[in-house]
Structure formats: structure tokens, C-alpha cells
Structure 1
Amino acid sequence: MKAVLFDFDGTLADTLPLSFSAFKAVFKQHDHREVTNDELISMFGPTEEGIIEENFTAQASVLQAIEDYYALYEKGHYTNFPNEKELVDLLRHLKEQGVKIGVITGKSRRAFVISSEALQLQRFFDVAITGDDVGKPKPDPEGIHKALQLLGIDHSNAIFVGDSNADILAGKAAGLRTYGVRWLSTYQSSEYDRIPDGVFNRVAEFYKLLDANR
């Protein structure tokens, strides 16, 4: 194993509740409607800008809603945000073992920078492919292929880890061993259209996989 590629929201960072909260606020304020978590998850795929642009009926409010979303999202990182020490330790362990770490996320570059800098995770990543960097978001494997190309690593020497059905589909489509995770407070999917190579409910369980591939 030369590289581990991760999804971000719900996989490396417990940012989904914060994202849900910010989206609900701007939908209520600018589009005058209530949306549920499940409705928001069904909108996921595009970047934050894309989600608002494609789902707002009040198109005149889109630009202001996007700016308000980012303001709320950024502020939330500095008010009682959970510190996921286990995941920081995992990333540090991978780096110490010489394993390359990549992120493939549907988040915009702007949102990813907000989170990765606020949570001090950016130092661990060798490559990060965001929703702004691909023409086709997950479940298309474009982002995974791009990350592996930049790292110079064959798909047979990498694994992909994510919390959503789209993650599992993307990893499988890219030909990687692909694992689902449910180790944070909020994750996107409990069922998958394709069977992952494993599912981890705790970060500690992931170390067994690493030991087996050392």
C-alpha cells in the first residue's frame, strides 16, 4: 500500500452537521423553505455553489446565499467543533509509514481550504482533488484517477476510504480496494449499491488493515 485516498466530509472531518446547518439557514433565509438532512444529501455531488445554484427557486438570491453559506460554515469551525484526535493520529501514522495521503472531495476548493486549515489537517495531504478540479463528481472516478496520476501511484497500490454510497461507487469504478466508514457522528450512507471491501465503525479497526498491508 503506497497511498490511501480519503473522502473528506464524514470521513476525515465531522463537518457534515456544520454543512447541514449552514445550508438549512441559507435555504430558509433566501429561498424561504425548510430542507431536511436527507433532502440535502440527495443534492450532494456538486460543490456548495452548485448545490445552491441548482436547487434554489429564488435565483436572484443565489450569490448572496453562497456568501452567507461560507460565512456560516467558516464560523462554525471555531465554535465547539469536535477535535477528532483519533483521525489526526491516523494521518500522522500514515505519514510516518511513508504512505501518501490524498483527498477526493465534492467540496469546493474554498470550503475545503476553510476546513482543512481550521482543523490543521492540510499538512498531512500530498494531494487534494476538490469538486472544482473535476468535470464529473463522485460517483464518477475522475477525481481518484487524477489523484493517482499526480501521485504517480498505480491503482493496485492504493485504497479509497469514504462514508457515502457515491464514494464506494467511485472507488470501485476506479479499480481500487474501497472501504466504507461510519466512525464519525454523522455519515452519509449506511447502505451501498456495491459491496465495499470492508466497513469500519471505529478508527482503531482501520489499523488492522494497515498492519495487514505493511
Structure 2
Amino acid sequence: MYVCNPSTPPQFLTRLTGVIFDCDGVLVDSRDANRMYYNLIREGLGMLPITPEEEAYVHMHSVTECLARIIPAQRLAEADVVRDNLNYEDIFPYIYLEDGLVEFLELLAGRGIRMAVHTNRTNTTERLLRHFEIDRFFAPVVNAGSLKRPKPDPEGVHYILNAWGLPTETVAYIGDSALDERSAAAAGVTFWSYKNPALAAAMFVPDFDTLRSCLAGIAAALPGRTAEEPDLS
């Protein structure tokens, strides 16, 4: 796996026309907020907080899958009532944009590179993007509520590619989980792992500042590429 490095930018960046972003763990750091949200639901049912294993699960999966995992089947209707009485926007102060994200999005926009979101969130995605004033960068925004089959199924990636009319070989998917990895692989698009070196990816991205520098320097660096520099085709 190639580690994103501005001194040896991959040739693939010269062909990049679209970037698909996961939301939680990529656009935003929402682990504390997710834990709080599901603990509030459990608290409303008189249950104990979620375990570390459950916390890892709810960070990646759709709300339907998460509730089925952490709430007994016979109490799911009660959980829906509790959930309906929660104001998710009260949790926004516990969600943080990833460092360097806005600058990276602005660079992509300036180069005419399309951007989309593919997330296992449901109806909170658009509100979250508007809250951070980054909704203008993304079209389409695909969430679990708009799909028959959420990640890791490739349905969402195929929807985005069809909306864009772009070939798979010019699009990259940035994610931080095995669900993202599998979704990208099933759709045939290049996968970049964000802050998770354990995933099978064409490129590991440690942060958006590094990725922005890599993309910004591609035009100047490519004429001097050596045979050893990565292609990531």
C-alpha cells in the first residue's frame, strides 16, 4: 500500500475526476457523538451504556442495523419512541470536522473534481453537512435511507457513478472502515484508506493536509517521476 507522500504523488491523481467520501470518521470525527446518541436511547429504555465493541459497530453501520444490534428485538418499538424524542442537532457540538478538510474540498472544487458522500447515516446527513457549511461541495449525497442495500453493497457507489457519468478508473473512494473498503472494491473504484492502515487500499491517507499537498504538487512533480514512483492505476 502506497502511503500518501507529496514528494512522490501517484500518477492516478492526474486522471482523478471524482472523489466519494464516507462521512463519519472521514469528513467528521463523530465517535463521541455516536456513543452519546445510542447511550441516550439505551438510557431511555433503562439499559446500560453500549460496550466498546458495540461502539465500534455503531460507528460504521446504519441506524436500523445499530438498533437491531444494541436493543433487544422486543424493545425496538420503544427505542423508536425514545429516538423520535431526541433532537440530533443537540449532539452537533460533539461532532468535529476533520482537520484540513475544507481546504482539501476547496482544492478539489477549484480543479473541477466532483465530490459525493456515501454514508450509512440516514436522515441526519444533509443536516450535518449544512451545519458545517460544506453541503455545497457534494452532489449527490447518498445515505442508507435512500438505498435498498447499504454499505458494503456497491449500490451507493454505482448510483453516484451513474449520476456523474464518470468511468470507475477516474474515481477514488475515501473511507475508514472495512465496509468502505468492500463497497469500493465491489464497485471497482480505487480505494484510499483514511487514518486506518489496516485496510486493503491503493493509498493510505494520514490526514487531509498531506493529501492536499500531494494533489497540489502533482503537476510539478510528474515530469520528474522515476520508474519507482507509484502509479496506483
Separation in 2, partners of 1:127, 1:26: 30
Q: CA deviation at 1:47?
A: 2.7
Q: Quick one: structure 1 residues 148 and 166, their matched pair in 2 at CA, closer, same or farther if it must change by over 3 Å?
A: same
Query: Partner amino acid for 2:121?
Result: K
1:145-178 C-alpha deviation (Å, 9 max, x unpaired): 1111011111111000011111111111211110
**Secondary structure of residue in 1 paired with 2:49:** coil
Match of 1:170 among 175, 183, 186: 183
Question: Is the 1:165–1:191 contact (alpha carbons within 8 Å) kept by the matching residues of 2?
Answer: no
- Give the length in aligned residue pairs: 202
Q: Does 1:200 align with 2:215?
A: no
- Structure (1 or 2) with the larger CA radius of gyration: 2
Match of 1:115 among 128, 149, 153: 128
Q: Quick one: structure 1 residues 113 and 37, their matched pair in 2 at CA, closer, same or farther if it must change by over 3 Å?
A: farther
Q: How does 1:142-181 map to 2 (within 5 A)?
A: 142-181=155-194
Q: How does 1:136-147 map to 2 (within 5 A)?
A: 136-147=149-160
Question: Is the 2:192–2:201 contact (alpha carbons within 8 Å) kept by the matching residues of 1?
Answer: yes
**What is the Cα-based RMSD across aligned positions, in Å?**
2.2
Which of 197-206 and 144-153 deviates more?
A: 197-206
Query: Partner amino acid for 1:191?
Result: A
Which residues of structure 2 form unaligned runs of 5+? 1-15, 220-233
Which of 135-144 and 49-58 deviates more?
A: 49-58
Map of 2:112 onto structure 1: 98
1:57-103 C-alpha deviation (Å, 9 max, x unpaired): 2234122122245x1x31121x3653545101111111111000011
Separation in 2, partners of 1:175, 1:212: 26
Query: Partner amino acid for 1:196?
Result: A
Question: Is the 1:179–1:196 contact (alpha carbons within 8 Å) kept by the matching residues of 2?
Answer: yes
Which of 201-210 and 130-139 deviates more?
A: 201-210
**Secondary structure of residue in 2 paired with 1:179:** strand
| Superposition TM-score, scaled by structure 1 size | 0.84
Alignment identity in percent?
20
Separation in 2, partners of 1:197, 1:208: 18
1:169-192 C-alpha deviation (Å, 9 max, x unpaired): 11112111101112xxxxxx6633
- Higher relative CO (Cα under 8 Å, sequence separation at least 6) belongs to 2
Q: CA deviation at 1:38?
A: 2.5
Separation in 1, partners of 2:96, 2:150: 28
Map of 2:224 onto structure 1: none
Q: CA deviation at 1:199?
A: 1.2
Question: Is the 1:94–1:100 contact (alpha carbons within 8 Å) kept by the matching residues of 2?
Answer: yes
Which residues of structure 1 form unaligned runs of 5+? 183-188
Query: Partner amino acid for 2:109?
Result: K
Map of 1:186 onto structure 2: none
Query: Partner amino acid for 1:103?
Result: V
Map of 1:9 onto structure 2: 24
